Structure 1
Amino acid sequence: MTVEFPLADLDLARRLERTEARSNAAFVEARARLFPDRGARWQEIAGAYALFDGADSPLTQTFGLGLFADATAAGLTEIEAFFSERHAPVLHEISPLAHDSLWPLLRERGYFPIEFTTVLYRALASATELPASPLSIRTIGTAEADAWARVAATGWLTEAPEFTEFLQDLGQTSAQSEGMTPFLAELDGLPVATASLYQNAGVALLAGASTVPAGRRQGAQTALLAARLHLAASQGCTLATMGARPGSQSQRNAERHGFRIAYTRVKWQLLR
């Protein structure tokens, strides 16, 4: 059945960006609960979600700036104070559909682009039967959060071996975030890959993809993608979204599975 894709416009950007923002806010709330000494906190300021998860965390930034309210100098000042009070860098992940008033403000205040993310989306039809796979795919509960985190960290560590403890904590917190559904792929009874699903207002965010070295090239992420899309559609989601590095294997895999590029998001950092 052919499913009509929504246009890649401001309304779509708001839906996709708010879903990711809410997902990260849920993560910050879980971090505050599990690791209270970290001082994790989030706050909505000028229509954006300002999130603090520690000065060195990739989640410490804003989402949605300029999409839900006009950008103003006063709003940016308040956001910058939120991060400065916590001795954290000031970072904004910004959609190109943000209001035009934002761009001259960023330039005037000393912001520079440092990173790009391709935001992809796909329309979802009603759930159909899952394709056959040699892997066993299942969701896990909080009792298995530590085990899920170890598998996820093992896969991620091939890209960043210096962050062992941080990645373990990241996986543990993600698996216990409100509204997050962690998935585990097993091959011959052994865990080989992880992924996660977060749902908000009919939008399914796909994240948490990680495969241990010994489990690669076995179709684990393809099976996890199908399982997450199936669950999201069965629970009423009409859109799925994910982020990837521009031109990466992740982006290519997403496009092969029916995703389209909505836009390329830019991360801006205030250089003091």
Structure 2
Amino acid sequence: MGLFNNIDLASEIENIKIKGTKEYIADRKKISPLYECDYLALNGKGCAFCTENYFFSVGFGIKEEVLMADIELIENFALNRKISSRMHFEVTPYSDPLFMTLLQEKGYTLDHFLSVWVLDLEAWAPTAASFKSDEVSIIKVAPDQAYEWAKTVASGIAEDNTATEGSIESVRCFFNVPDTAAFLVKENGKSAAGGFIMWNGQLSELFLTSTIDSHRGKGYQNLLIAERMKFAKSRGCKYLTATTKPNNTSARNMERNGFKLAYNKAIMKSPSLNSVKN
């Protein structure tokens, strides 16, 4: 299977995102019955997600035709939850052109792009570690370290570098999702950076990678990428994927570690759903 112009690989990449998000939401709802997030799956066409303050849909238009009725069903799913007034559809280059036409007819506009990266693990071989320091270690997170890992990742993501208990819990629940592993970088015994990996068949995905502000610029993102590359290959995965914003530090780290840009996704944003007449 090649990396480029490959609709089957693109479908697998979108499906691993769907699988992980569905399992995450299901686990959160088990822990907290009052948790309001939910998802709507449409007959193998794709899946719409309602999270704390964001509605988005993944996988639509790749292999199954999307109808106007499908879009309206998803918009009603979002509107009925009264959390956010806009829906976002992630549209790949492999999506049926009619899908984009329908979105434009509904008044959707381009919000931003995301870059999807892929590494061929069968062709990749680990090199001798160039990062050596007695002060720095990287560990695979055990269950009793899940909170520490989640606090580190949430702190790295937070704009003010301060994690709330809510944001820590939001990250920590990923730890319970099946077929996943978390990694933590420690500097002088203190947590500095964290990352996550999920696998599904021949494909693994990297996400939830962040570094606490005071520890940035030390190569910890690359250390976490390399560790998870080795981990994915050890599990027999053939491909490793990650999604970043275009042309940012994370994107450059993907290139630096041998990932290739497979495709860019257009994130299409609806007008206010409160004003949409279905």
* Length-normalised TM-score, structure 1: 0.89
Partner of 2:224: 224
Higher mean C-alpha displacement, 210-219 vs 223-232: 210-219
Q: CA deviation at 1:127?
A: 6.5
Q: Among 122, 126, 129, which residue is 2:119 paired with?
A: 122
Partner of 2:5: 8
Counterpart amino acid of residue 191 in structure 2? P
Is the contact between residue 28 and residue 52 of structure 1 (CA under 8 Å) also seen in structure 2? no
Is the contact between residue 3 and residue 262 of structure 2 (CA under 8 Å) also seen in structure 1? no
Partner of 2:56: 61
Shift in CA distance, 213/163, structure 1 to aligned 2, threshold 3 Å = closer
- Write out per-residue CA displacement over residues 170-212 of structure 1, whole angstroms, 9 at most, x where no aligned residue: 2222223232211111122211110000001211100011111
Distance in 1 (alpha carbons) for counterparts of 2:201 and 2:232: 11
Higher mean C-alpha displacement, 86-95 vs 126-135: 126-135
Q: Structure 1 vs Structure 2: percent identity of aligned residues?
A: 24
Partner of 2:140: 139
- Write out per-residue CA displacement over residues 119-149 of structure 1, whole angstroms, 9 at most, x where no aligned residue: 1111002775762532321111332222111
Shift in CA distance, 65/202, structure 1 to aligned 2, threshold 3 Å = same
Is the contact between residue 142 and residue 176 of structure 1 (CA under 8 Å) also seen in structure 2? no
Q: 5+ unaligned residues in a row in structure 1: which ranges?
A: none
Higher mean C-alpha displacement, 61-70 vs 21-30: 21-30
- Write out per-residue CA displacement over residues 204-239 of structure 1, whole angstroms, 9 at most, x where no aligned residue: 100011111232222221111111111111111111
Distance in 1 (alpha carbons) for counterparts of 2:244 and 2:5: 17
Is the contact between residue 192 and residue 212 of structure 2 (CA under 8 Å) also seen in structure 1? yes
Is the contact between residue 192 and residue 215 of structure 2 (CA under 8 Å) also seen in structure 1? yes
**Poorly superposed stretches of 4+, deviation over 6 Å:** none
Is the contact between residue 78 and residue 87 of structure 2 (CA under 8 Å) also seen in structure 1? yes
Distance in 2 (alpha carbons) for counterparts of 1:245 and 1:166: 25
Is the contact between residue 155 and residue 162 of structure 2 (CA under 8 Å) also seen in structure 1? no
Shift in CA distance, 5/218, structure 1 to aligned 2, threshold 3 Å = farther
Aligned residues: 265
Higher mean C-alpha displacement, 141-150 vs 66-75: 141-150
Counterpart amino acid of residue 75 in structure 1? D
Q: Among 19, 26, 30, which residue is 1:33 paired with?
A: 30
Partner of 1:81: 76
Q: Among 21, 46, 49, which residue is 2:47 paired with?
A: 49
Q: CA deviation at 1:165?
A: 4.6
Partner of 1:215: 215
RMSD: 2.1
Distance in 2 (alpha carbons) for counterparts of 1:163 and 1:27: 20
Is the contact between residue 27 and residue 178 of structure 1 (CA under 8 Å) also seen in structure 2? no
Q: 5+ unaligned residues in a row in structure 2: which ranges?
A: 273-278
Q: How does 1:109-258 map to 2 (within 5 A)?
A: 109-125=106-122, 128=126, 131=129, 133-134=132-133, 135-157=136-158, 159=159, 164-258=164-258
Q: CA deviation at 1:162?
A: 8.3
Is the contact between residue 185 and residue 220 of structure 1 (CA under 8 Å) also seen in structure 2? yes
Partner of 1:95: 92
